[in-house]
A = this chain, B = another copy of it.
């Protein structure tokens, strides 16, 4: 008898010809017209489109379009090629994703299991439409659990002395085709070169309502300060500790009677939910990063 029943109600299966386009560029007239005209001429049907112009930052234009295009798989390269002409005209940063090609995730974890458990449960329930390619950990606590899902687990210990080679080892097991790395309470600082390699593709969950309580002991700090609400923050990792673009935050009310352990217990549920939302939005191509902020179309 199987331990975990993986269910599939993924978009990939339902909509084999669905694609998504992410665009950011300086604002100007005619962008929406050009994009929608392009899609119309290629026989695409737009099923969802979101657009936002950030005024104060010098007029940046952001757009996400979800569309169905017959025979997508065989035509997507040609579509990308033709669109690059449109893109050049408007100086666009752009990407077109084939929804059927699931994103590949690597999850990093240490000893705390709640965020990993949540991601695996949502994945197994069919709510995270992605492939979990592997789990990397500096401890072995989660090995049996991860492997019971049929997911490869790599134990790569990290010490102050071996940090650089540990990261080399991590990069090697990850390989070349990972779309996003999830730090599911991975309690190690990532080096700048590693971050550079996966710019805006490493999602961390920080166990406080940033920018309050940066660093390693946020619940103790929250208790000390006597806050009445605690929170968690999912963000892309940058060189500044807990300072990267915020993707999602959520909070929960607490009271004077909650000690540090109780804050941690309450916090675990917020962390789980916030990280899972951020991962879901990333794999659904809902997030655009501009400077140190995110535009999230959801």
**Residues in A lying within 8 Å of B, measured CB to CB:** 1-5, 9, 27-33, 35-37, 39-40, 43-56, 113-114, 117, 121, 125, 127, 140-141, 143-145, 148, 209-213, 225-229, 231, 245-251, 253, 255-257, 259-261, 265, 268-269, 273, 292-296
Give the chain B neighbours of A52 by CB distance below 8 A.
48, 256-257
* Chain A interface helix/strand/loop/mixed: mixed
Q: List 30 A-B contacts (CB under 8 A).
A: A1-B143, A1-B144, A27-B45, A29-B45, A30-B40, A31-B46, A32-B32, A32-B40, A33-B40, A36-B37, A46-B51, A48-B52, A48-B53, A49-B49, A49-B51, A50-B50, A114-B121, A114-B125, A210-B227, A211-B213, A211-B227, A212-B212, A226-B292, A227-B249, A228-B247, A228-B249, A229-B231, A251-B251, A253-B253, A256-B295
Among candidates B2, B9, B148, residue contacting A261 with C-beta atoms closer than 8 Å? B9
A32 CB to nearest chain B CB (Å): 4
Question: What is the CA–CA distance of A251 and B227 in the complex, to the nearest angstrom?
Answer: 12
